[in-house]
Amino acid sequence: MNPALALQLWQGPLADLHAPATALARAMHEGLAYAPVLDRLQTLALHGLPLAPALPRALADHPWSIDLALIAVRADPGDAAALEALRARVTAQNRRKAALARQLWALGRPEAALQALDALDPASETWRGDRVARAELTLLSGGTPEGLDGAEGFRLSLLALYRRQGAAALAERIAGHVGPDLPWSWLIGVFLDERDFRRTRALLDAFARQRGADHPAVRAERIRLALECDDPATARAEIDTLGAADTPWLWPQRRLAQHLRCSLLEAADPDHPAARTLADLADRVLRLYPGNAVLRALALSAREMTGDWDALATDLATDTADPPATARALLRLGLPEAALTAVCIQRSAPPDQQVRTRLREAEIRLRMGDLAGAGHALGTPPAAWPLRADHAYWAAEIALAGRDPAAALAALAPALRDGSARMGLHLSAARAGFLAGDLTLALDHLTQFRRLKTDQLGEDPGEDLRDRIVGDAANATSEGRGPETSPGLAARALALSPPGFTAAAGAIPRQLAHYWEGPRSAPVERGLRAWAAQHPDLSQQLFDAAGATAWLSRHTPDLTALFQRQTLPAARADLFRLAWILHQGGVFTDLDEYPRAPVTPWLEGARAVLVIEEGHGTIANNFLAAEPGLPLFARTLDGVARTLAETEAPYPWWHSGPAPLTVQALAASRDAGESPGLRFLGQPDYDTRVATNLPFPHKRGALHWR
């Protein structure tokens, strides 16, 4: 590393990006030796700076250098001549075949990578390392590698077991094994990915006993565990003891990633100093190491949390550096069509990355409401774990979106057997059990989820909407009650038998309403603009607590005091939206719903438009459309008002939101006088026009309404 150059990049963009390479070429002309030439070119490549005219000159001056040839290939992966030059140098010197093979592997050419390692010469000075590479790439290709002795052989045997049989088998294999030959950091990373925090902590304790609590690798894993546990205080305390706090441009990339990730967690509190410096920190880190995929992903998260989402979307539209990461970011911005375009331009990649790209495409198509396309993109299950678990999760999600709980449970069963600590698998299995009518199974998976979440957080997370909806259905069933008094049973009935639509002479007013408290952040303003742009024929009004109070005082004065007594913004929003939709009518939508097409076609012939949520089948209240005066909203508002008046600490989703609305919506759908004109949209139908529940920054912290 060049400290002066790193400081320049940390402070701001270089005035002339080509200046360092030009200066290096001049020094080479004056006789600069090979070692400093290589070092300076590696530094320029590390910082993503132009390499010409220095690199062509260096390649010509040192035609034997494999390292220089590697720099050329990595600088332009599509340059066939550079790749051939690397191959020629490796072949001529009969060494470092692993370097060539790994480069071919990274370019998505696994067969060529293995061919490069096909005939290894024991007389080569790099024979041992080349053998390890051959064994590892054979394994990653799905083949059976040759046996190796020593620590590398042991590591590869563990990797083979993990990919073949999953996390449970790996855990059994290493149980009681605490020898120094364990690949500690790899194992800790594996079980963190598996969300097995209990086993991760046990491994970390054993690692500390082996190497000492202050060993740099042990401290790095303590930081990683704290970050995965959403514990920025512990992570920050560890990071701050590493020293050199005033020279972050000299930190290793891993420490910068830890620092940036910790800052993201801290910035969830808008009053934390990190919230004010996060965007600037992300810019500096990315300027210093633009090619680091981890830092780039964190920088995108920082921009999402602090910046203008329209500006971010514009930048991402032309960003081809990392298509899967770009696609993920665009999907989070509510732009699945743009995300699909990005993910489909993924250049050649190693086999595992190709599977991940396929899974990302399936996710995107699911969020577009295209279940058939999602299933086609998903394809057949991969053989290797953990990709097999990821595939099972998305297969289950697609099946659940299509209301096929049996298919979801069948997809999940092998993955749950082979890696039972993955929380997402348990949540999917709980929903599948709920929809299948096996409430005992659903409650069991929710119990396992809460145990795993407790292992992560160090405390019981408490009941949430999933526990309430499934528990309610189970209690109602045991007590012999029906869906008329049970939100859980009502939701299940709607999910499995969505009411049909009979057109009526509907008269839904052509007006939009939203509710928002607090500062109008850039994502909020973006949502307002999007709803207005997609619906120029609808008037639009944004209410806050004061505006809602004024409206209630004019239209439903008996609710004003109850509204003002609520301490949670979500409860206030729920009460107000019910009053507004009943007395005024129109379209009421949360601003984290992002329209990609007009919703007005849904209003035609409808007296109300309701969305049956993907999860458990409850009726969403983040989007409501109705003509004024509908009995179902009158009943819902009366019930919610009574409940809020009698409940000291209401849980908004349950007491004022989807739960009570679901019961009344089902009742209306079964009433011959109320059902004409009620349009029930499934989640896939809704997703074709609206991106739902976008990750607004306030959801990362205590301000999250739910």
Q: Are 446 and 462 in contact (CB under 8 A)?
A: no
The strand pair at 623-626 and 586-589 is best described as antiparallel
Number of helical (H) and strand (E) elements in the chain, helices listed first: 38, 8
The residue count for the chain: 706
| Spans in the chain with pLDDT lower than 70 | 178, 346-347, 700-706
CA-atom Rg of the chain in angstroms? 29
Q: Output the pLDDT for position 397.
A: 98
Q: Are 470 and 434 in contact (CB under 8 A)?
A: yes
**Residue 61 CB contacts under 8 Å (≥ 6 apart), including other chains:** 28, 34, 37
Q: Are 505 and 492 in contact (CB under 8 A)?
A: no
Dig out the tokens for 161 from the structure: 């077991």
Query: Residue 579: enclosing H or E segment and its boundaries?
Result: helix 569-583
Q: Say what the alpha-carbon torsion angle 205, 208, 214, 217 is, to the nearest 10 degrees.
A: -100
Largest CA distance in the chain: 93
Q: Output the pLDDT for position 582.
A: 98
Measured CA to CA, the distance from residue 429 to residue 442 in angstroms comes to: 7
* pLDDT tens-digit readout, 457-499: 999 999 899 999 999 999 999 999 999 999 999 999 999 999 9
Q: Output the pLDDT for position 706.
A: 34
Q: Output the pLDDT for position 347.
A: 66
The one-character DSSP state at 481 is: -
Question: Domains plus CATH for the chain?
Answer: 500-700 (3.90.550.20)
Q: Which of 499, 498, 501, 507 is nearest to 607 (CA)?
A: 507
Q: Output the pLDDT for position 702.
A: 52
Measured CA to CA, the distance from residue 591 to residue 542 in angstroms comes to: 10
Q: Which of 47, 77, 72, 75 is nearest to 62 (CA)?
A: 72
Measured CA to CA, the distance from residue 492 to residue 616 in angstroms comes to: 7
Measured CA to CA, the distance from residue 675 to residue 680 in angstroms comes to: 10
CA 565 to chain centroid, in Å, comes to 36
Q: Output the pLDDT for position 700.
A: 67
Q: Are 612 and 498 in contact (CB under 8 A)?
A: yes
Q: Output the pLDDT for position 698.
A: 74
Report pTM: 0.95
Task: Order the strands of the 586-589 sheet from edge to edge.
Answer: 539-543, 511-515, 586-589, 623-626, 608-612, 678-682
Q: Are 172 and 179 in contact (CB under 8 A)?
A: no
Provide the residue type at 672 as one letter: A
Answer left, alpha or beta for residue 586, where phi above 0 means left and psi between -120 and 50 means alpha: left
Measured CA to CA, the distance from residue 617 to residue 367 in angstroms comes to: 17
Measured CA to CA, the distance from residue 237 to residue 217 in angstroms comes to: 16
Provide the residue type at 613 as one letter: E
Q: What are phi and psi of 556, to 5 degrees?
A: -140, 70
Q: Which of 531, 680, 526 is nearest to 596 (CA)?
A: 531
Measured CA to CA, the distance from residue 125 to residue 146 in angstroms comes to: 20
Q: Output the pLDDT for position 245.
A: 87
Q: Count other Cβ atoms within 10 Å, centred on residue 460.
A: 10
Q: Are 495 and 616 in contact (CB under 8 A)?
A: yes
Taking each helix axis from N to C end, the angle separating 487-496 and 465-479, rounded to the nearest 10 degrees, works out to: 100
* pLDDT tens-digit readout, 344-403: 876 678 999 999 999 999 999 999 999 999 999 999 999 999 999 999 999 999 999 999
Measured CA to CA, the distance from residue 585 to residue 634 in angstroms comes to: 12
Q: Output the pLDDT for position 63.
A: 96
- Look over the chain and give the mean of its residue pLDDT values, rounded to a whole number: 95
Measured CA to CA, the distance from residue 590 to residue 592 in angstroms comes to: 6
* pLDDT tens-digit readout, 195-209: 999 999 999 999 999
